Amino acid sequence: DLPDPRTGAAVKAADRAHVFHSWSAQGLIDPLAVAGAEGAYFWDYDGNRYLDFTSGLVYTNIGYQHPKVVAAIQEQAGRLATFAPAFAIDVRSEAARLIAERTPGDLDKIFFTNGGAEAVENAARMARVHTGRPKIMSAYRSYHGATSTAINLTGDPRRWASDTASAGVVHFWAPFLYRSPFYAETEAQECERALTHLEDTLAFEGPQTIAAILLETVPGTAGIMTPPPGYLAGVREICDRYGIVFILDEVMAGFGRTGRWFAAEHFDVVPDLLTFAKGVNSGYVPLGGVAISAEIAATFDKRPYPGGLTYSGHPLACAAAVATIQVMADEQVVEHAAHLGETVLGPGLRELAERHPSVGEVRGLGAFWALDLVRNRETREPLVPYNAAGEANAPMAAFGAACKKNGLWPFINMNRTHAVPACNITEAEAKEGLAALDAALAVADEHAA
Ligand code: PLP
């Protein structure tokens, strides 16, 4: 007895009957029933249309329902819908070639996974087997996924409940000038002190016990903190000095989000391993992976790699990746994201900050922006406390509700809202989003001095 799916209420009731949602108290959630989506928009069953300033979970870099990618998936389904990973499959090889052509340096071998967490999980394993060392270092203020090792490597409160088995993980502070862990006042100070802190942490952990240092190139969910000039190059140098594998997690920052194919290009650094997912095929079919340097790949030339997945390099996911990368190249989506950041989103958000006392800082690049909302610009006290829930989080909840009332679906994390629309959003659509944010920020301003 399936409920009549033609109304939002029926769709929601069916969801609440059997679907168990991520990160949620199941009895307290009220998921919107979505009837459809196209480009940068989606809509419900009651005639409400939303401009998606979240790109799903920051992954629909080419927007929803791109006809060429949908057609490529349909075509692949008709030709060869699935095949096991041990075989050579044309579309899998082509996806790997297109990705390897774009990853920096000699990251030319691609291990496919089903998403970002598995990519991090396998990068950590590769580093440990390659070096024979036990520990991985990662930053506070990071997100790396929800599987066992990936969640332990994460540096936000989502890790805490899973910290029962976090052996082999060490956290450190990465640079973030606006809320500097090092009391720095300039980017140069922040960079220098963050590198000294990393060296000090390494010295006390024992560099010979560290397999890898893992960083998001530009931390995403944690607040879109572009690292200061010289920081990533400094980490690269430290890794080289101690024989440590340098892993950059580009699950969120990769595939055009920052206005480059990979964010590492902005900083002229080449990691030993690079994880990707999300934008690789805009999530039309689950796909992630690890791009592997020649040296680490060589470790597994004669020795078997001790890891694998039934759906590694799934043909439907790879067909979606081939089509997505082609669309991004043909339609200059990466260049467009850079242009949007420089001419519309960056200037537009800074202009909002001038008029709204609740905006403490605007930061970002490409189609990857954060507004740090505060009660007081002088003290930088966040609009809501760290990891606030319930009544303590009411100002952000009111801000979110105001966005939705104005037709904008906002990305909200703690005291921040992120402007992370599809990378191919038009200038007019981006301006529509800025106008909705403008109206909603008036609600946040009520809590700011
Ligand atoms: N790494 C980063 C930087 C992410 O932003 C995410 C997801 O948001 C992940 C890893 C985990 O990816 P997934 O949810 O596909 O497992």
Q: Are residues 182 and 49 in the same domain?
A: no
Q: Are residues 207 and 125 in the same domain?
A: yes
Q: Which of 313, 330, 347 delimits the end of a domain?
A: 330
Pocket test for ligand 1, best of 57, 153, 250, 278 (most atoms within 8 A of CB): 278
Beta-sheet pairing, 416-419 with 411-413: antiparallel
Q: Are residues 126 and 240 in the same domain?
A: yes
Cβ–ligand 1 distance for 322 under 6 Å, the answer no
CATH number of the CATH domain containing 336: 3.90.1150.10
Domains in the chain, number: 2
Cβ–ligand 1 distance for 251 under 6 Å, the answer yes
Distance 254 CA to ligand 1 centre (A): 11
User: Does residue 5 fall inside a structural domain?
Assistant: no
Q: Are residues 299 and 419 in the same domain?
A: no
Tokens (6 digits) for 273: 């391993």
Q: Are residues 366 and 282 in the same domain?
A: no
Distance 151 CA to ligand 1 centre (A): 10
Quote the pLDDT of residue 4.
60
Pocket test for ligand 1, best of 221, 251, 275 (most atoms within 8 A of CB): 251
Tokens (6 digits) for 365: 């690049």
Q: Are residues 324 and 362 in the same domain?
A: no
Quote the pLDDT of residue 5.
62
User: Does residue 45 fall inside a structural domain?
Assistant: yes
Residue type at 146 in one-letter notation: A
Give average pLDDT by consecutive 10-residue segment, the chain, 449 residues: 73 96 95 97 96 98 98 98 98 98 98 98 98 98 96 94 85 98 98 98 98 98 98 98 99 98 98 99 98 98 98 98 98 98 98 98 98 98 96 97 98 98 98 98 96
Q: Are residues 155 and 94 in the same domain?
A: yes
Cα dist from 97 to 82, 274, 278, 318, whole Å: 19, 15, 18, 11
Question: How far is residue 194's CA from residue 174's CA, in Å, rounded to a whole number?
Answer: 6
Are the C-beta atoms of 114 and 309 separated by less than 8 Å?
A: yes
Quote the pLDDT of residue 169.
96
User: Does residue 83 fall inside a structural domain?
Assistant: yes
User: Does residue 245 fall inside a structural domain?
Assistant: yes
Q: Are residues 300 and 438 in the same domain?
A: no
Pocket test for ligand 1, best of 144, 216, 225, 280 (most atoms within 8 A of CB): 144
Cβ–ligand 1 distance for 220 under 6 Å, the answer yes
Q: Are residues 243 and 262 in the same domain?
A: yes
Q: Which of 330, 347, 365 delimits the end of a domain?
A: 330
Secondary structure class of 369 (helix, strand, coil): strand
Q: Residue 38's beta-bridge partner residues?
A: 41
Residue that is written with structure tokens 């690079």 in the block: 274
Cβ–ligand 1 distance for 117 under 6 Å, the answer yes
Distance 251 CA to ligand 1 centre (A): 6
Q: Are residues 187 and 284 in the same domain?
A: yes
Q: Which of 307, 330, 353 delimits the end of a domain?
A: 330
Are the C-beta atoms of 91 and 315 separated by less than 8 Å?
A: yes
Q: Helix H segments across 206-285?
A: 231-242, 264-267
Q: What is the DSSP letter of 256?
A: T
Structural domain harbouring 400: 32-62+332-445
Question: How far is residue 134's CA from residue 366's CA, in Å, rounded to a whole number?
Answer: 36
Quote the pLDDT of residue 2.
55
Task: Give me the sheet containing 408-409, strands edge to edge.
Answer: 34-38, 41-44, 49-52, 408-409
Cβ–ligand 1 distance for 144 under 6 Å, the answer yes
CATH number of the CATH domain containing 251: 3.40.640.10
Q: Are residues 318 and 409 in the same domain?
A: no
Quote the pLDDT of residue 164.
81
Question: How far is residue 183's CA from residue 193's CA, in Å, rounded to a whole number?
Answer: 9
